[in-house]
Chain A
Amino acid sequence: MIKKLNLKSNAAVERLFNGIVKENPLFVLLLGLCPALYVTTSALNGIGMGLATLFVLLFSNLVISLIRNSIPDKLRLPAYIIIIAIFVTIAEAIIKTALPALDKALGIYIPLIVVNCIVMSRVENYAAKNKVLLAVFDAFGMGLGFTLALMMIGAIREFIGVGELFGFRVMPPSYPGVSIFVLAPGAFFIMAFLFAIHKKLKVHKVMKETSPDAAEDNKKETSPDAAEDNKKETSPEAAEDNKENPSPETAEDNDKNKTSEAPQGKTEKKVKKEKEKKEKEKKEKEKKEKKEKKEKEKKEIKLKIAKTKPEGEKND
């Protein structure tokens, strides 16, 4: 419990970590692939694109989170796009005047940030449902995660492709450069390798184990209810199988499979039991949600941001 509260009260840091490592928009969510393939010919281009996205994401998240309760549900997408487009126009104007070389390198992908999946998904999934400060930190996390990912891809492509890093020659002059890495196929190679490495390191999995949601999930598994569920299985082997399964979802899948294989007489019972189980799960979910709500409220009081807003307005 103490661990849980600690993490929750540190929600800002959690948001940053979530955006950069646990749910990195490029490596984990696989969003924004088109700009990632096109602009990452060098590390600097990658940083430029990442920072432009960060700028737009930050202000869009901020504004949409501020006015989230006044946007009618039916008109929310046009409203989001207008707000995002305003900041994209500002970003484009800044880059065009201050960094014309970068503007040339990024080309059409600056105006296309309007329909960038990362911005749209964060605005729709996070900023529209959460308080301002959290939304801002979420934008920071996601934007920095995207920037770092683009910079890594760009640096590797630049290094192998032309033997430079951030525009400086690092390889001996005799190094010919593998020019395929500056072209589109190289982007696919490098991205595939980075995805694989990210998955291998399982950074997000480690995080999941320490996060509060996962802790509850784990509890569910070891709770007497879950043990009972397992006992319901007809054969001892199947029960063992389920116990070995780390996640509750797969256990459920197994249950379903088993029921379809079971003889006719037993299926009715099974179906009944499954219904009961599902209801139990629903109840648990509701409990969980209530708990989370309460915790959020507590945290809000702690952070003293929620002064202006009446409580319980969070629309899910």
Chain B
Amino acid sequence: MNGKTKASPHLRSKINTSGIMLVVILALMPATGFGIYNFGLNVLYLILVTVGTAVVTEYVTGLILKRAVTIDDYSAVVTGLLLALSLPPDTPLWLGAVGGMFAIVIVKMLFGGLGQNIMNPAMAARSFLFISFTPLLNYRNPALEGESPSLLDMLVKNTSGVIGETSMLAIILGAAFLIILGVIDLKIPGAYIISFFAFIVMFTGSFSPDYLASYLTGSLVFAAFFIATDYVTRPISARNQILYGILLGFLTAQFSLRGYGFEGIAFAVIIGNLIVPLLNKMGTGTRND
């Protein structure tokens, strides 16, 4: 026996990055399917172009930067899918490609690849597209126009808004799948949604359920379960995750009251991401996962 101990880690989980990413992709499938069902085949093309560009860009950038090519962990697929689902259905295809490239090159690879990015690549790219091509990203925003679709419409089929938020039922189905498999937990989404409504009530002073229901959009739930819980850009400790959720709730409430739709959520997530390192630094709570 040679008494040498190998360097840590000594215990390895069988769950790896590609496994988690595959589960997330599966969980996003109901929302994707409903989006395609509601808006037609051009949405499918948009999703394929965005995801394809993200994957190809990651491969090419890895080659150029002489880094290990990491497309087999499916993280680029998740980034591309999240970006496509956060775009309006009539977005030009080339815009999806530009967004996918921006997300991978500028936000992810230039900062060091998976695990090193300081912002959620999909949300950063979404904000980049919104700021750069505002006239091309028009969509009807129910909260803005004052029309309040019935709750049943919201749950099953709501034709306005971005691709991924059409059906809250599909989003919750995917989120439940993630929670049951233990990929995410309720800390961030719960803190996010509850604090969002608390801040809306605080800022407007209105308790009317109809009024509050108009703010319960699919995009809020989508962002709370699929975007705010991103492993790379969320805080580590449990207490900080709840603080992070409250921060996102506050920012999203502010943007929503000013008439932003999904852009408000994207901005809130980016600003929240930038504060995460500070939260991690002051954190003393026990590790969550």
- Out of B106, B131, B133, name the residue touching A176 (CB < 8 Å): B133
Chain A, 180-228, CB within 8 A of any chain B CB: 180-181, 183, 185, 189
A-side contacts of B177, CB under 8 Å: none
Interface size class of A (residues with CB under 8 A): under 10
Q: How far is the CA of A189 from the CA of B128 in the complex (A)?
A: 12
Q: At the interface, yes or no: B136 with Cβ under 8 Å from chain A?
A: yes
Chain A nearest CB, measured from B157 CB (Å): 32
Interface of chain B: mostly helix, strand, loop or mixed: helix
Contacts of A180 in B (CB 8 A): 128, 131-132
Give the docked Cα–Cα distance between A181 and B131 (Å): 10
Q: How many A-B contacts are there with CB distance less than 8 Å?
A: 16
Q: How near does chain B come to A188, taking the closest CB pair, in angstroms? A: 11
Could you tell me the distance between the alpha carbons of A184 and B135 in the complex, rounded to whole angstroms? 20
Inter-chain contact A189/B106, CB cutoff 8 Å: yes
Contacts of B131 in A (CB 8 A): 179-180, 183, 185
Q: Which residue of A lies closest to B92 (CB)?
A: A176
Alpha-carbon distance between A185 and B106 when the two chains are bound, in angstroms = 12
Instruction: Give B80-135 interface residues, CB cut-off 8 Å to A.
Output: 106, 128, 131-135
Q: Is A51 an interface residue (CB 8 A)?
A: no
Q: How far is the CA of A189 from the CA of B132 in the complex (A)?
A: 14
A85 at the B interface (CB under 8 A): no
| Interface flag for A178 (CB, 8 Å) | yes
The smallest C-beta distance from A178 to any residue of chain B, in angstroms, reads 4
Residue in chain B with minimal CB distance to A196? B110
- Across the interface, name the chain B residue whose C-beta is closest to A160: B132
Q: Please, how many angstroms separate the alpha-carbon atoms of A59 and B59 in the complex?
A: 53
| Cα A40 to Cα B75 with chains together (Å) | 36
Tell me, in angstroms, the Cα distance from A50 to B121 when the chains sit together: 36
Q: How far is the CB of B98 from chain A (nearest CB, A)?
A: 8
Q: Are B133 and A178 in contact (CB under 8 A)?
A: yes
Tell me the smallest distance from the CB of A31 to a CB of chain B, in Å: 24
Q: CA separation between A110 and B136, bound complex, in Å?
A: 37
Q: Which of chain A's residues have a CB closer than 8 A to the CB of B135? A: 176
| Chain A residue with the shortest CB-CB distance to B128 | A180
Distance (Å) between the CB of B34 and the closest chain A CB? Answer: 30
Q: Which residues of A contact B (CB under 8 A)?
A: 176, 178-181, 183, 185, 189
